[in-house]
Chain A
Amino acid sequence: QSALTQPASVSGSPGQSITISCTGTSSDVGGYNYVSWYQQHPGKAPKLMIYEVSNRPSGVSNRFSGSKSGNTASLTISGLQAEDEADYYCSSYTSSSPYVVFGGGTKLTVL
């Protein structure tokens, strides 16, 4: 069982917006602004999409945005495109070992 809880799957049509949630506790998501999001296409390594809750690395589309409320962080993808179909993982710093925890992952299907 993963430390952070994500929905197993979400779906949306091209052009629509979707949101993926990531729920933790006050010891991780709720206690620190060190939430990051990763996109993983089949057979590929994860790619950093969001760090520190809402910051985008250079080169990541501004269609991807992050936010946090209490113990739940969220990744929103607007203007869905076929290439967004992938697995998405959240991660957070946690105050005790192992210091880094992941969510179980969410499969995004673009209909």
Chain B
Amino acid sequence: QVQLQESGPGLVKPSQTLSLTCTVSGGSISSGSYYWSWIRQPAGKGLEWIGRIYTSGSTNYNPSLKSRVTISVDTSKNQFSLKLSSVTAADTAVYYCARLEDFQYYFDYWGQGTLVTVSS
């Protein structure tokens, strides 16, 4: 059973960079045809897809966040990471990591989510 777990600071100051890591267990991040994704959800609001990475390093980002987002992968640690720069209060949200099936485009495994608050 694949499991994903987000980790990182729960509080980030405005204008700084938000950094989160997702650790994958129960399977190799390099096996199969999957994209590894980040999704966020502000309190009381819907889901917003942030971006995805393939284990080859190929990435795609939501155009609304593209200038501030970097997603990377470390296959040796079975982890992938999110960096979001120049954060504001609008970036306060629960951040989820999830596995995106390559050809059918559905998210089959999700992390439990981690709340990141942007505040001074």
Question: Which residues of A does B touch, CB under 8 Å?
Answer: 2, 32, 34, 36, 38, 44-48, 51-52, 57, 89, 91-93, 97-105
A34-B112 contact, Cβ under 8 Å, with A98-B60, A100-B49, A102-B47? no
| Inter-chain contact B46/A97, CB cutoff 8 Å | no
Residues of chain B within 8 A (CB-CB) of A52 are: 104, 106
Q: Which single member of A44, A93, A100, A104 contacts B46 (CB below 8 Å)? A: A104
Shortest C-beta distance, A30 to chain B (Å), equals: 15
Shortest C-beta distance, B1 to chain A (Å), equals: 11
| Number of B residues, CB within 8 Å of A | 23
Number of interchain pairs (Cβ within 8 Å): 66
Which of B17-57 touch A at CB < 8 Å? 37, 46-49, 51-52
Which of B84-120 touch A at CB < 8 Å? 96, 100-101, 104-108, 110-113
Ranked nearest first, the 6 interchain pairs of A and B with the lowest CB-CB distance are A36-B106, A51-B106, A93-B105, A45-B110, A34-B105, A98-B62
Give CA–CA (A45, B107) in the complex, Å: 11
Shortest C-beta distance, B88 to chain A (Å), equals: 20
Residues of chain A within 8 A (CB-CB) of B105 are: 32, 34, 36, 91-93, 99-100
| Inter-chain contact A46/B104, CB cutoff 8 Å | no
Residues of chain B within 8 A (CB-CB) of A47 are: 110
Question: Which residues of B does A touch, CB under 8 Å?
Answer: 37, 46-49, 51-52, 60-63, 96, 100-101, 104-108, 110-113
| Inter-chain contact B107/A98, CB cutoff 8 Å | no
Residues of chain B within 8 A (CB-CB) of A51 are: 101, 104, 106, 108
Give CA–CA (A62, B110) in the complex, Å: 22
Residues of chain A within 8 A (CB-CB) of B110 are: 45-47
Residues of chain B within 8 A (CB-CB) of A102 are: 46-49
Residues of chain A within 8 A (CB-CB) of B112 are: 44-45
A45-B96 contact, Cβ under 8 Å, with A38-B107, A52-B104? yes
